[in-house]
A and B are shown apart, each in its own frame.
Chain A
Amino acid sequence: MQVPDLVPVIPELILLVAACAVLLVEPFLKTEGPGRGDKTAVMGIALAGLAGSLVVSLALVGQHRVSFAGMLVLDDWAVFFKVLFAIGAGLTILMSPLYLEAHRRHLGEYYALILFAVIGMDLMAAARDFILLYLALELMAISSYLLAAFFRYRARSNESALKYFLTGTFASAIMLYGISLVYGQSGATNYVAVGQVLGGQGGSVAVLFAVFLVAMGLAFKVSAAPFHMWTPDVYQGAPTPVAAFFSVGPKAAAFSAIMAAFVVAFPGAVKEWGLLFIVLSIVTMLVGNVFALVQTNVKRMLAYSSIAHAGYLLTGVGAMGWAGNSYPGQGVMLYLAAYTFMNLGAFGVLAYLKSQRPESFDHTLKQMAGLGRSSPWAAVLLSLFLLSLTGIPGTAGFIGKFYVFSGVVWAGLWWLAVIGVLLSAVSAYYYLRVIIYMFFREPEGEYAVKHPISGGMAGSLAVSAIATLIIGIVPSWLWDAVGSAFITLFR
């Protein structure tokens, strides 16, 4: 048997080793009662694994390798997402110990599960075959279900996991059915091979149906409306750092899969799937923004806001298909990078607040009142991330929206951009409302924080804030990186 080229999966192998090491080392650590104790060692291993994966990925920039009989490639496209996932997971891990400690559920398998999810996400971005895409998606999803249920003594956490699991498996099944139809039409599961067979025959009904089903499965993962129902409950019930991770990692992975799969495998039906995503994007932006308006719980508001952001991202995907050109997709990639930092940051501040008062704080707006006085740093950081999510210039969020809508207008869909920007003006209302509570209102009860932001949480928030500002002020390098990554998709 011929040994496949393993170079493309070195980042994932590093993560795999680190995850196994975490599981093996953890039993030997001293514990001080259930869920307590010094877990620096396992956290260090997990972070080292992510750092190793990050460095190796960066070292592999510019390479082009196909491995495992064409199922998987190594190109700048995959590297871009691998780097993004490693950074996202690293920031999540840094903000976790404080939170888990406060809830007495500081267990090593948490870190292992995050690493497994990252392996799945990496493979989703690198996959060039529907079967591998499905496997990678499941690896990511199953790790996610477990993470959602991590506080297994809590009803909300269980509800969250169960909802996520049931709807998630259902979506996976639909996608699998779509893949089987694709196979039936083309006799192949490899993107390129499928593209060659289906590209010529255009959009027959059977092909369109298959495309539709695959799109549905992935739309579930990016929490596009009307497949978004799970998102608010899952985010609210899951541990906050986990919710932060869900809102950026799996979403970016699913977008990478959507763009790679649809662009390469369904070139004959670009108009149709472009239109499908345009419709999805309009519904998603509407649902996300309108429901976010009425939330009084900030965590739930952020969940709906993440739906709204999926909508903005989908406009770019739709424009890509509609124009039959990849240019708008570059904006989507840039937005994903920007979104990773600002959304992780916003959830991170919530995680910090929750860890300060694990019993009484439940993320409601009321409890944010007066934060500007009691914890100015947390309030200022959260304001920065929220303003970035609004899309105020000088922040990453503006650059992301600018590039996405620039691509949308480029594709001639200026009316779609108008819908997008008007709804993002709506979003200003609910983001600013949090700022109003933090700075303009006096606290009703006593919600003061016990300790200032410190340690890993401080590092994580600082990195997110600095990245949010840097991308906002000098985005050129990121745009260039996105551009060179996107081209490799077509080799």
Chain B
Amino acid sequence: MLTALTFLPVAGALVMLIFMRGRPSAYKTTALITSIFTLALSVYLAARFRTGTAAYQFVEDHSWISSLGISYHLGIDGISLVLVLLTTLLSVVAILGSWNSIKDRGLAFFISLLVLETGMLGVFVSMDLFLFYVFWEIQLIPMYFIIGLWGGARRVYAAIKFFLFTFVGSVLMLVAILAIVWWYAKNGGPLTFDILALQQAGFSGSLAVWAFAAFFLAFAIKVPMFPVHTWLPDAHTEAPTAGSVILAGVLLKMGVYGMIRFCIGFFPEVAVKAMLPVLILSAIAVVYGAAMSLVQPDMKRLVAYSSVSHMGFVTAGLFTFNQQGIEGSVLQMVNHGILTGALFMMVGFFYDRTHTRLIRDYGGMAKPMPVAAAFFSLFVVGSLGLPGLNGFVGEFLILVGVFQYMKVFAVIASVGVVLGAAYLLWMYQRTMFQQANEKWFSLKDLSAREIITLVPLVGMAIWIGLYPHTFLNLLHAPAQNIMAQVQPYLAEHGDSLLGLAGSFFGGF
């Protein structure tokens, strides 16, 4: 089942490659149908998913490289399921959204998107470290091409920066993977790359600290956390619309997902020691990202920096290790995926018409494009946390979680929320209202296809905003599982700032 889900997009891509070269309407339709089928399959899985248990479901386990204990092991829990749903939904949106904007080498573009979807799904369903790493790295290639081939003016620079940042983090993670696997094999455990088995290993001492650091760096680059976020504004800005949607919507989530699975799953003690440092970095990211957003002249870059700020919320919530914080964190990932994806989509729609992303080139857009302005306003207020829409639910839960842990961070995070309202509303005001730019009076409003692209995102935003229970229900059990893992260490290390720094060199 999960195999079918994961490889369905690639199968569609193969069909397109073999049978539909040079027939744009055929391959576009096939790409869309493939992604819709994948979405349907993931919804079907969600319907059959048993909530209330942290156990992995729909498990598939086959031996792959038996001499090293590597297996083809798939399975999902509530957290993975939520992210799988997000991935399949945003893939449909991305394909629909780039229907007419990609003219050059369209076949390669849609194939890249589908291969990327397989890579992302693979990351979320892998239960084997080796398999996880394979998917983790493989999705770099299609994304690299999406940015480099169909991106903006500085696309080559952005593509290589994106690739190298992620690659450096991942290769260090590879060494950490090898180190923990061999340590476990030499200290009484079996030689295995199985994630569940390794979670039982109980890594400790300096190995755990260094391996945690390597994993954490790889994921922090992906999230991206301050100060390794510098690839993000370039990549997001230069990527084509669909690329930005997927990048912000899903790829960033892979970083947090990795933290949950590995940083916390393998090294709960070190993760607890890292609580305070991570919260400090997250707080910096929240405020810094928001402050940077305020001063961006480029709409896309503004949304990109807002991602840094919002992902700061996500990591902050996760590392409070209480029920509200963790659930809010995962839910906020979904919210951020939907809303930021939608914002990038809107910017893309405007760009398709005006070929500029600079805020000062716009103005009065609400007049020629009232429907677009309406959609845009919904996503803007959702993103700044208006109650009734999804952004509020996630931020609220995270703030509750952070407040319980340390009040000062809740205050700082609230500042981030306020700044968020400032830069988003200010941007909205300057582009949609104010002095109208005559050049744009003749612009057409959103087409039916564009509206269809946005409707599912609006639906999700309202659904999660009004009835988050559907999704939170999936997260209760995994969140409790995470809390149970870190519980033994919380009292001892919960608020130590230097505990982590000290243990780096404890073994030497």
Contact = CB atoms under 8 A, between A and B. Distances in A.
B174 A421 contact: yes
B442 interface: no
Contact of B168 (A405, A409, A422, A480): A422
A170 interface: no
Interface of chain B: mostly helix, strand, loop or mixed: helix
A406 B155 contact: no
A387 interface: yes
Given A432-B144, A475-B65, A406 B134 contact: no
Interface string A369-407: 000000000000000000100011110001000100110
A92 interface: no
A148 to B, nearest CB: 35
A430 to B, nearest CB: 11
Contact of B160 (A406, A418, A436): A436
Interface string A219-251: 000000000000000000000000000000000
B160 A429 contact: yes
Residue among B144, B159, B160, B167 having the largest count of chain A Cβ atoms under 10 Å:
B167
Contacts of A421: 171-172, 174-175
B411 interface: no
A439 B182 contact: no
B168 A392 contact: no
A393 B138 contact: yes
A476 interface: yes
A417 interface: yes
Contacts of A392: 137-138, 140-141
Contacts of B144: 432
B137 A439 contact: no
Interface string A294-309: 0000000000000000
Contacts of B171: 391, 421-422, 424-425
Contacts of A475: 65
Contact of A479 (B65, B140, B156, B174): B65
Nearest to A429: B164
A141 to B, nearest CB: 36
A410 B134 CA distance: 20
A428 interface: yes
Interface of chain A: mostly helix, strand, loop or mixed: helix
A210 B133 CA distance: 43
B67 interface: yes
Nearest to A417: B175
Contacts of A406: 68, 178, 182
B359 to A, nearest CB: 28
Contacts of B68: 406, 479
Contact of B149 (A414, A439, A483): A439
B172 A422 contact: yes
Interface in A129-164: none
Contact of A394 (B134, B149, B156, B160): B134
A18 to B, nearest CB: 37
Interface of B: 64-68, 133-135, 137-138, 140-141, 144-145, 148-149, 155-156, 159-160, 163-164, 167-168, 171-172, 174-175, 178-179, 182
Given A402-B174, A428-B163, 14 more contacts: A391-B171, A392-B137, A392-B138, A405-B175, A409-B179, A410-B178, A414-B179, A417-B175, A422-B171, A424-B171, A436-B160, A439-B149, A440-B148, A476-B67
10 contacts: A387-B141, A392-B137, A402-B174, A414-B178, A421-B171, A425-B164, A428-B167, A439-B145, A440-B149, A440-B155
4 tightest CB-CB pairs across the interface, nearest first? A421-B171, A393-B134, A409-B178, A425-B168
